[in-house]
Amino acid sequence: MKVRVDGARCRGHTLCAMIASESFELDDVDGHAHAFDDVVPADQHDEVAEAARPRPEQAIQISAEQKGITL
């Protein structure tokens, strides 16, 4: 699984960092989130998927990887 945060859409509500603190961190300046790494470790998939659930901003995009190919 890969994850990306669209900085233009993120409003800094901190929900993603509260749900998946091992995958997201907040910027000290504007409070917007970004992923620690674009490839999510398998043990963090459930938390990242929960954090990416449809929010009004839709700032978090996740994609599945299968045999090295991003879907």
Domain boundaries, the chain: 2-70
Give the whole-angstrom CA distance, residue 24 versus residue 18.
9
- What pLDDT shows up at residue 19? 95
pLDDT in tens, the chain (71 residues): 999 999 899 998 889 999 999 999 999 988 899 999 999 999 999 999 999 997 788 999 999 875 454 44
Which residue, 49, 46, 43, is CA-closest to 3?
A: 49
Helix (H) or strand (E) holding 25: strand 24-26
Whether 2 and 39 have beta carbons less than 8 Å apart is answered as yes
Quick one: how far is CA 1 from the chain centroid? 11
DSSP letter for 56, please.
T
Considering the domain 2-70, what is its CATH architecture? 2-Layer Sandwich (3.30)
